[in-house]
Each structure stands twice: as structure tokens, then as C-alpha cells.
Amino acid sequence: MSDLLITLYPWTKSIHIMAVLSWMAGLFYLPRLFVYHIEKAETVADAPAIFLVMEEKLFRYIMHPAMIATWIMGLMLVATPGIVDWSWIWPWTKGAAVIAMTWFHYWLDWRRKDFLAGQNRLTGRQFRMMNEVPTLLMVVIVISVVVKF
């Protein structure tokens, strides 16, 4: 099995990077859609229904599959011999940040379901602030992997 993982390593890493990019794009965009949903829903006819469709399609067809692919490829990378030295701090900080990113992913889905049920309680400003969460987590992840402290 380890020979196969070593052989697949460049492909696994490539797919992992593409999946992360797609997932991050959704994590950045969905909170912005929520802001526009809140701030423009009353000013444009049929806007709430349009935003609900956009939010669902972004989450269901881009973000969620990208998150799953990110996790699968990431776990394959971790399982590849010689890639991760668990005595260093960086795999632990990256892992914690990825778990936090996954929690944020599901938090966004819970907020999407709030909009669907007509029960959103957050403001556009609050969603703007939450939009910074994936950026902060991305900084931790990239520095962890590149600097390898």
C-alpha cells in the first residue's frame, strides 16, 4: 500500500491543492452571499428565492464535494510514508486549523438552513466578520505547511 501511495503522491497532492482552492472559494463566497441576501432581499423582486438557490448550489455542488475531496486527498498525503513527521508541531497546527475550517463549513450550512427556514438572526455585519475566519485559518495552514515549524 505504501508503494502505491508513494507512486500516487504527485497526483494526490495535485488533486488536494485543487480541492482546497475550490473549497476555499466557497468558504469565502457563501458568507458574502449571505450579506447580499440580507441587504438586498427587500429591494429586488424574487431576490430571497434567487439567493436561496445560489447558496444551496454553491454549498451542495461545489463546497461540500471539494471539502470531501480535500479530506480524502489530505488523509492520503498523511498516510504517504516520509511526508509527515509527527514529532514536529506543524502537522498538529495544520490539523487543528483544518478541523476548525470543517466546523466553519458546517456552521455556514447551518446558517444556510436558517435562511431556508426564514429564521436567520445574523446581520450583514456579522457575516462580514465571519468571512474573515477562513482567511485566518488559511494563514495558519499555509504557514504550518510551508515553514514547517
Which pLDDT score is estimated for 1?
79
Name the phi and psi angles at 86, rounded to 5. -70, -5
Nearest residue to 3 (alpha-carbon basis) of 84, 80, 76: 80
What cell numbers appear for 1 in the block?
A: 500500500
DSSP-derived 3-state class of residue 105: helix
Which has the minimum average pLDDT: 47-51, 55-59, 70-74, 135-139?
47-51
pLDDT confidence bin for 62, thresholds 50/70/90: very high
Q: Which domain holds residue 100?
A: 2-147
pTM: predicted TM-score of the whole model, two decimal places: 0.93
Average pLDDT, the chain: 95
Which pLDDT score is estimated for 91?
96
Q: Identify residue 76 by its one-letter amino acid code.
A: M
Q: Tell me which DSSP letter residue 89 carries.
A: S
pLDDT confidence bin for 139, thresholds 50/70/90: very high
What cell numbers appear for 111 in the block?
A: 446558517
pLDDT confidence bin for 121, thresholds 50/70/90: very high
Q: Residue 64 above 80 pLDDT?
A: yes
Q: What percent of the chain has pLDDT over 70?
A: 100
In the chain, the number of structural domains is 1
Which pLDDT score is estimated for 45?
80
Task: Give counts: helices (H), strands (E), the chain.
Answer: 6, 0
